[in-house]
Amino acid sequence: MLAWNPSNLLPVLIDNIDTGIFVLDTEFNVVLWNRFMVSHSGKHSTDVIGHNIFDMFPELPKKWFEKKIQSVLLLKNFSFTSWEQRPWLFPFAHNRPITGGIDYMQQNCVLMPLENPSTQEIEFISVVIFDVTDTALYQKQLSEALNELEQTSITDGLTRIYNRRHLQASFNLEFSRANRHKFPLSMIMFDLDHFKKINDTYGHPGGDEVLREVAKRVKPLVRTEDVFGRYGGEEFCVLMPDTTLEGAIAVAERIRSVLQSVPVQFGNLHIAMSASLGVSTLTSEIRTHQELLQLADESLYDAKHNGRNCVSSRQMPVNSSPA
Amino acid sequence: MTKKILTSDQRDALQEVTNIAMGQAGASLAQVLGEFVQLSVPQINVIELEEINQALAMLVGATTVVSAVRQAFTGALRGEAVAIFDQEGCIELAELMGYEKELTPKAEQELMLDVANVLIGACIKGITKLLQTDITFSPPSVMAKNMPIGQLMHPSTMEWKLALVTEVNFALEKGRFTCHLTQFWPESSIVSLAEALDKFIESF
Amino acid sequence: MSTPILVVDDSAMARKMLIKALPSSWDVEITQAANGLEAVDAYRAGKAEVMFLDLQMPEMDGYEVLEKVRQEDFNTFIIVVSADVQPLAQQRVKEMGAIAFVKKPVNPAEIEAILKKFGVFL
pLDDT, tens digit, for every residue of B125-146? 899 889 988 888 888 999 988 8
For residue A292, the number of C-alpha atoms closer than 13 Å in the C-beta half-sphere is: 28
The answer to whether the Cβ–Cβ distance between C13 and B39 falls below 8 Å is no
By the 8 A CB rule, do C17 and B25 touch? no
Q: Give the closest of C58, C83, C88 to B20, CB-based.
A: C83
In whole numbers, what is the pLDDT of chain B averaged over residues? 86
Strands (E), chain A: 20-25, 30-33, 79-81, 107-115, 122-131, 185-192, 227-232, 235-241, 264-266, 269-271, 275-281, 311-313
The answer to whether residue A141 neighbours chain B at the CB level (below 8 Å) is: no
C20–chain B nearest CA distance, Å: 7
Q: Give the closest of B15, B36, B37 to C11, CB-based.
A: B15
- Interface-testing mutation among C19, C22, C56, C106, with chain B (most B C-beta atoms within 10 A): C56
Chain C residues near residue B23 by CB distance under 8 angstroms: 82-85, 104
Rounded CA-CA distance C50/A80 in Å is 46
Rounded CA-CA distance A10/A3 in Å is 13
The answer to whether the Cβ–Cβ distance between B32 and A71 falls below 8 Å is yes
The answer to whether residue A121 neighbours chain B at the CB level (below 8 Å) is: no
User: Which of these is catalytic: A225, A234, A246, A253?
Assistant: A234
pLDDT at B101: 65
Q: Cα angle vertex A155, ends A152, A156, to 5°?
A: 115
Rounded CA-CA distance A67/A62 in Å is 8
Q: Cα angle vertex B153, ends B150, B154, to 5°?
A: 110
- Interface-testing mutation among A72, A74, A80, with chain B (most B C-beta atoms within 10 A): A80
By the 8 A CB rule, do C51 and C74 touch? no
The answer to whether residue B117 neighbours chain C at the CB level (below 8 Å) is: no
The answer to whether the Cβ–Cβ distance between B12 and C56 falls below 8 Å is no
Q: Cα angle vertex A51, ends A47, A52, to 5°?
A: 135
- E strand or H helix that includes residue C3: strand C3-8
What pairing do the DSSP bridges indicate for beta strands A79-81 and A107-115?
Answer: antiparallel
Is the pTM above the cut of 0.90?
Answer: no
pLDDT at B2: 42
Q: Cα angle vertex A8, ends A6, A14, to 5°?
A: 110
The answer to whether residue A70 neighbours chain B at the CB level (below 8 Å) is: no
Percent of chain B surpassing pLDDT 70: 95
| Surface of B (125-164) touching C: CB under 8 A | 130
The closest of A247, A173, A255 to A214, measured between CA atoms, is: A255
ipTM above 0.85, yes or no: yes
Could you confirm whether A234 is annotated as catalytic? yes
User: What residues in chain A have per-residue pLDDT under 50?
Assistant: 320-323
pLDDT at A25: 95
Grouping H, G, I as helix, E, B as strand and the rest as coil, residue A109 is: strand
Q: Per-residue pLDDT averaged across C17-25, rounded?
A: 93
pLDDT tens-digit readout, B94-110: 777 766 666 777 888 88
- E strand or H helix that includes residue A290: helix A289-305
Rounded CA-CA distance A23/A128 in Å is 9
Q: Per-residue pLDDT averaged across C56-80, rounded?
A: 89
The answer to whether residue A66 neighbours chain B at the CB level (below 8 Å) is: no
The answer to whether residue A74 neighbours chain B at the CB level (below 8 Å) is: yes
Chain B residues near residue A110 by CB distance under 8 angstroms: 139
